[in-house]
Structure 1
Amino acid sequence: MIQKLWLSRSGWDNDLEKALQDEWQNYRSSLTELEKIKITRWFSYTSTACKMELHGFCDASIKAYAAVVHLVVTNKSGSRQISLVAAKSKVAPIKTISLPRLELSGAALLAKLTRPMICVLKIMNWSEVRAWTDSQIVLAWLQGHPSKWTTVVANRTAEIHHLLGKNIWRHVPSKQNPADCASRGVLPLELPNLDLWWRGPEWLSIPEQFWPNRATCESTDEEVRKSATCNSTLTNDHLDNNILGLQNRLSTFTKLIRVTSYVRRFMSVIKKVKHGGSFITATEFNASVFTWIRIVQGHHFAHEIFQLQKRKVINGNSSLSKLGNFLDENGILRMTGRLYHSELNYNERFPIILPDKSPFVRLLLEKVHRETLHGGAQLMLNVLNRNYWIIGARNQIRQVIHKCITCYKERAAVQTQ
């Protein structure tokens, strides 16, 4: 009834529909029948009991999911006394959820409800605890490892395994499940005489060999986690959108290149290509640096690289149009100029072009700043120009120096008397 009122979306000052008004009045008038219900608060198991058993039942419907726990006390004479210990129900979410997931939520609710009772009643033997559900899919989920299922199912099954384990779960027919009364709802007029709710199914009062047979849990394909396929080609097209975020998650340039080197080594293992020993070699390190340069250039200079591949020249309003540039044999964008005829090494004559405001460039500048022992802007620029040509390099270098904590402390004015 409460769920219907909520779903009607009626305001506090709005009148309800006639059908809802009549249903609410009937429900309200029947609440007086609850005064006739008397619940025993004492379980006589201390003196004459020789065995105690906890039986938990769970069920779910499109309206709600519920759990109920019964205590079965076997006396020395062999008679079995059944008592309702606790019960709990929750309204099903407004968002549509599959019935198996609701059944699993009911099982998780039962696990949370039963675990404290095991400690309070000091039941040390798990063979005296039983959990019952009428869902074969839930039983199949509980018998499998949580990693096999999707995230929602895996989280709930892992929680149930932690609280109760997976070996105490059994199947009960729906008509003999006491939790069905709470999940589907009963009127207060029917509740006092509902023996299934108060005493549980009839077979609880007889020996275990006459209980429902433990149904075999067949495997299910529902909610199976899909295995992710790994693409072993390290190219801009496949990694541009995924690997760029790695620049912001790693704190130093060296760590970024080392992580990339291990990724490349993993891919070489997939391709069955031999690699070096356990340590990263200089060749692997340099190859990872060039990989990142291609990724960064492909992200920031995609249009310019396309023009160089097609027309051999960059046109338009690009910041690179005034620079002499070309693509080397490795597909890296380099700058050329008056140093072409000098006797400097290849990287100094044709430095690699890098963009400004890139996390990769920021990590590179911080690395050079530390290697130059927190050198100034001119020293850092001279070191960088041996291999790279960074657009707007001076502004980026000043920002790195300004944010350096060590340099900030050294620049602090000494107090005088």
Structure 2
Amino acid sequence: MARKLTNLTQLESFAMEEWAKIPQETCMQHREFHVFSDASSKAVAAVVYLRVTNSNGTNQTGLVMGRAKLAPQTEHLIPRLELCAAVLAIELAELVTLEIDLKIDGTTFYTDSKVVLGYIYNETRRFYVYRDRPEVSTLSTSSSNAQFSTHRFTRFSTWKSLNRAISCLIHISFTYQKTGSTLTCGHKGWHLCEQTHTITELARSKNAIIRAVQEETYIQEISSIKNNTEIQINSVLKTLDPFIDEDGLLRVSGRIKRAKLEDNEKHPIIIPGKHHIATLLIRHHHEEVRHQGRLFTERAIHTAGYWIIGGKRCVSMIIHHCVTCRKLRSPTQIQKMADLPIDRLST
């Protein structure tokens, strides 16, 4: 490095430039990278230093780039993490070598793990390729509550983000079931698809979200309908005469089957008012009508084909806490008048 240390006590007075100050290329005789890697049970890290030997024989050393990663949640032994740090050091050195506008004469790697050195020189035995991929279980549109728990929906603040996230998961699950010739995006397994979500995919994810919420909230009602028994008299769905459609969703039956309306308006989907998705749907349609009040928001929700239990109270509460509505409907502020001047007070 900058100068050789013969004793650890000299570290107290050892100093180094924080960032590499590269001199003019005509003054440089030798350029080399020194890459350090280390690991702990919490993280792995690597750092690259540039050492330049000038024409007058002096050396300059400075930091070029560093990178750290959290250790996988699954517990691994320190030697294996040290190997991960060594791999990170190599990747970092390759990146810096590719991006820097200098010709590097050499690269030296440093590690404090004898296991890493032994693994490098060992030609008789190798570890298994290490890949820490999350386990993804296949998610179909008829998912059970154990696979598709709705408590995670509270992490989303908008209906669009929730719908797109579930659409991505369903898309990934379908890629596991399809072969290479039937894949639409060209990727199989866990990936981040860059293709735009189609209307069919968004509708499928919407049905999956609502079905999961209904199956979690109205367990007894759904069981009664499937068994052709009467719904309990104390159920909130008793007066709605609900039925289950071909997609497995609970809908309001009513007496307007012959009306010339869309099926979503004649038989809206039942949404539990106390669930988080009711809040997301109300916010979504409230923004769609440009914050025009409770009646417009309710009409937009009904037109979209949703029947929210206790909808008026829920809509009123959302609008009451809406920051935009508070700003638009706030009374005009009256400026406090200053004291009258002396000339107007004299008689």
**TM-score, normalization: structure 1?**
0.50
> 2:257 aligned to 340, 353, 365, which one?
340
Post-superposition shift, 1:244?
Answer: 3.8
1:264 equivalent among 146, 170, 173: 170
2:72·2:132 contact (CA, 8 Å) conserved in 1?
A: no
The residue matched to 1:389 in structure 2 has which SS? strand
1:364 aligns with 2:287: no
Q: Which amino acid aligns with 1:323?
A: L
Q: Structure 2: which amino acid aligns with 1:265?
A: H
Give the total of aligned pairs.
257
Q: Name the CA shift for 1:391/1:216 in 2 (closer, same or farther; >3 Å).
A: same
Any conservation in 1 of the 2:139–2:169 contact (CA below 8 Å)? no
Partner of 2:221: 304
Kept in 1, the 8 Å contact 2:250–2:270? The answer is yes
Q: How does 1:16-415 map to 2 (within 5 A)?
A: 85=8, 150=75, 153=78, 168=110, 216=122, 218-219=125-126, 228-234=134-140, 235-241=143-149, 244-245=151-152, 247-272=153-178, 273-275=182-184, 278-386=195-303, 387-415=305-333
Which residue identity lines up with residue 345 of structure 1 in the other structure? Answer: E
- Structure 2 unaligned residues grouped into runs of 5+: 11-38, 52-58, 62-70, 94-107, 186-193, 336-347
Query: For the Cα contact (< 8 Å) 1:236–1:294, is it kept in 2?
Result: no
Aligned-partner SS, 1:414: coil
Distance in 1 (alpha carbons) for counterparts of 2:136 and 2:167: 17
Question: How far has the Cα of 1:385 moved from its partner?
Answer: 2.0
Deviation per residue, 1:75-112 (Å, 9 max, x gap):
xxxxxxxx65369xxxxxxxxxxxxxxxx869x9xx99
Shift of 1:394: 0.9
Superposition deviation, residue 408 in structure 1: 0.2
Mapped partners of 1:171, 1:323: distance in 2: 69
Displacement of 1:236 in angstroms is 2.8
What is the CA–CA distance in structure 2 between the aligned matches of 1:152 and 1:409, rounded to whole Å?
56
Q: Tell whether the 8 Å contact from 1:150 to 1:225 is kept in structure 2 after alignment.
A: no
State the shift of 1:372 in Å. 1.1
Q: CA deviation at 1:307?
A: 1.9
| 1:406 to partner: Cα distance | 1.2
The letter of the residue matching 2:148 is D
What is the alpha-carbon distance in structure 1 between the residues aligned to residue 151 and residue 113 of structure 2? 50
The structure richer in helix per residue is 1
8 Å contact kept, 2:139–2:170: no
Cα deviation code 1:266-306 (max 9, x no counterpart):
22222225548932221222121111111111121122212
**In 2: Cα distance, 1:300 partner to 1:257 partner:** 19
TM-score by length of 2: 0.59
Q: Distance in 1 between matches of 2:262 and 2:239?
A: 23
Which structure has the larger Rg over C-alpha atoms?
1
1:399 corresponds to which letter in structure 2? Answer: M
Deviations 1:17-76 (A, max 9, x none): xxxxxxxxxxxxxxxxxxxxxxxxxxxxx9xxxxx6xxxxxxxxxxxxxxxxxx6xxxxx
Write the distance in 1 (CA, Å) between the matches of 2:317 and 2:259: 32
The 3 A distance-change label for structure 1 pair 329 and 149 is closer
In 2, the alpha carbon distance for the partners of 1:229 and 1:320 equals 38
Would you say the 8 A contact 1:261–1:288 is kept in 2? yes
Residue-by-residue CA offset, 1:188-239 (whole Å, 9 max, x unaligned): xxxxxxxxxxxxxxxxxxxxxxxx9x96384457xx7775542223213343
Separation in structure 1 between the aligned mates of residue 109 and residue 282 of structure 2, nearest angstrom: 58
Distance of aligned partners of 1:162 and 1:215 in 2 relative to their CA distance in 1, 3 Å threshold: closer
Q: Percent identity?
A: 26
Query: How far has the Cα of 1:391 moved from its partner?
Result: 0.5
Change (3 A) 1:415 1:289: same
Q: C-alpha displacement at 1:155, in angstroms?
A: 6.0
CA contact (8 A) 1:369 1:380 kept: yes
SS across alignment from 1:237: coil
CA contact (8 A) 1:148 1:225 kept: no
- Please, what is the CA RMSD of the aligned residues? 4.5
